[in-house]
Amino acid sequence: MHVILAQPRGFCAGVVRAIEIVDRALERYGAPVYVRHEIVHNKAVVGGLRARGAVFVEALAEVPPQAVTIFSAHGVARAVEADARARDLRVLNATCPLVAKVHIQGRLYAAAGRVVILIGHAGHPEVEGTMGQIDGRVLLVQDEADVDALDLPAATPVAYITQTTLSVDDTRAVIAALQRRFPDLVGPDVRDICYATQNRQRAVRELCRQVDVLLVVGAANSSNSNRLREIGSESGIRSHLLADGSELDPAWVAGAATVGITAGASAPEAMVEHVIAALRALGPVEVSAMDGLEEHVEFKLPPELAGRAA
């Protein structure tokens, strides 16, 4: 079996920064440190940090007063920030800078008197945080049908923003639907969608031209990982999402001469290696990496944690 690895794949700069914030907080302040929501959507990452003393909670009511508290990479609503101040928590904000950029865009549009439309998935923590960061009216749409169902006059001044981990193609279609309905529409270019989302989707489309089966390493609750699997299926390739090699079903790769592997932005490379090991248990495997973009993006840490060895 020939295994081709997508390039790029796996961790993005926002995930690296978020994990390092928890790492350094544990080094500097000692255990426990509290993290609101999973720092990133990956059980292996969360489990490793939990073993070192990170405590993951869904509500700040679970955090003792004055405790070191980290907001996840997905971002939080202003009400959560206010609650943290009221409880006198020592907050370290691991919100991805690209998510924070969306918050700023949305606030600027709302301040200009526009109804803000957020393109995203209902219930996703990033969506909940973004909607709670913007004063004024924010409406959530997931697809073109939602756009058609909006109860707004056509002349309404409207602006759109997007969840960072969405499909570029799906977002483009929803934006086109908004343009058809609302003549007074402004918003960022689709190029402002997270660079890592775009790069990994582009790489998967290229990879699918070369393989019989696609394996996407990532968590079931990871939006960007699920979208990579969907892109594979839309390309006509048998595509499967798995957290690690223990979830590999031999039937998925039976008879496949070439298998492609990619990983979502919150999946560590160790999980990719685990999947390769599971494939090797089925028979001889030759591994190569496709030519692709090398990412060199880095985001600064909070000043309280800067300057210490990771």
Half-sphere exposure of 48 (CA within 13 A, CB side): 14
- ∠ CA 218-292-251, nearest 5°, is 40
Residues 152 and 108 both lie in one domain? yes
The pTM (predicted TM-score) of the whole model is 0.91
Which of 192, 224, 248 is at the close of a domain? 192
Averaged pLDDT of the chain: 94
- Structure-derived torsion over alpha carbons of residues 185, 191, 193, 199, reported in degrees to the nearest 10: 160
> For the chain, how many structural domains are there in total?
3
Residues 157 and 112 both lie in one domain? yes
Which of 192, 212, 242 is at the close of a domain? 192
For residue 309, what pLDDT is reported? 46
Residues 45 and 72 both lie in one domain? yes
pLDDT of 310 > 60? The answer is no
- Domain carrying residue 91: 13-96
CATH number, domain at 88? 3.40.50.11270
For residue 189, what pLDDT is reported? 81
Say if 303 falls within a structural domain.
no
Share of the chain above pLDDT 70, in %: 99
Catalytic positions, please? 126
Say if 185 falls within a structural domain.
yes
Looking at this protein, which amino acid is placed at residue 294? E
Which of 96, 116, 151 is at the close of a domain? 96
pLDDT of 193 > 90? The answer is no
Residues 207 and 249 both lie in one domain? yes
CATH number, domain at 220? 3.40.1010.20
Residues 223 and 245 both lie in one domain? yes
Residues 181 and 107 both lie in one domain? yes
